[in-house]
Structure 1
Amino acid sequence: MGMIDTGLNALLGQGGNVIRSTAEVFRPNAEAAAQRDHEMLANALQQFSAEFRDQRSGFDRVMDALNRLPRPAMAFGAIGLMVAAMSDPIWFAARMQGLALVPEALWWLLGAVVSFYFGARHQVKGQQFQRELARNLTMAPQVAGNMRDLHALREGPELSADQTPVGPISEGPADPNPALEAWRART
């Protein structure tokens, strides 16, 4: 029994590590590969969450939410007026008579307030868009460099100054090739 244990320990090592190490040369360890994949995905999710995190304060978010209320309120109010006109025309006519008594100067003032509100909101959103666009444009040189590196990888290794690149077959070889010329003549 002692010789069998000695032989198996020599073959397998302590705990079978020799076979496992040899097998991992030909096939990657599935558990370690799963762990690497998990870490890569976790890092990618962490990067995405950092990239798309809202940088505004709570007050800014509340104010932005309140600023979004007037447009839907006006749209639903107009729809509500149409429903009220159809459901109770007498009640609706009485309200419209009240609106007919509003002086024209007050209508102009209401129009100015609504115009300035929506104009200012449009301007703020436009400026935020411009800032985001400018921030993205500052990344353009880095993106161009990355694209250049990717194209270089696709084309193969860079050639040194003493090497001449071989172009595609349609351009013709750098030196004459009789077999290629005969093939081109047949096709």
Structure 2
Amino acid sequence: MGLIQGFLSMMFGNGRNIIRETAEVFTENAEAGAQRARQVQSQAMQQFGAEFVVPRQGRFDQVMDGVNRLPRPALALGTLGLFVAAMIDPLWFAARMQGIALVPEPLWWLLGVIVSFYFGARHQLKAQSFQREVAATMARVPQVVENINTLERMRADSPGAADPGPDAQLNVAVLRSEENPALQDWKTARSA
């Protein structure tokens, strides 16, 4: 018994655990590792928070912070507004989209670069030939103008929207009423 007790006292005596200490040489103590990770995370969060503790100097800083928060909601709400406008007044919307068709391709790329850099993109994929695209856009101007004029003529409130034009037969057909047997039966039944 004394031999076992002596061995156990050598292994675990004096508040030591030789087996645990030997095992920790090869594997990390999970509890101690979690404690170290918590300390590292806590220190990193304190440092990160300290970087953003900047006292605002005045009204200008507050206004600029507000302006920096506007683009994302403005783009989202503006896009939803376009959908609503297309449903409420399709002709008005179509006329505006014809105007957008005149925007040259390089300008679309420039807008894409600005928006992508603002929202964190790191690169652009293609380069554009500016003169070729401007010439192609300018060639579409007469068609776009004609489309806008056609859309304006289609409005119900535009003068002459229901005008049959020089077609005499259509003009007579519009003025002359056709026989309507159901209407005649109704009038007869009503007068009786």
Q: Same fold per TM (> 0.5)?
A: no
User: TM (normalized to structure 1)?
Assistant: 0.34
Q: More relative contact order in 1 or in 2 (CA 8 Å, sep 6+)?
A: 2
Query: Greater helix share, 1 or 2?
Result: 1
Larger-Rg structure = 2
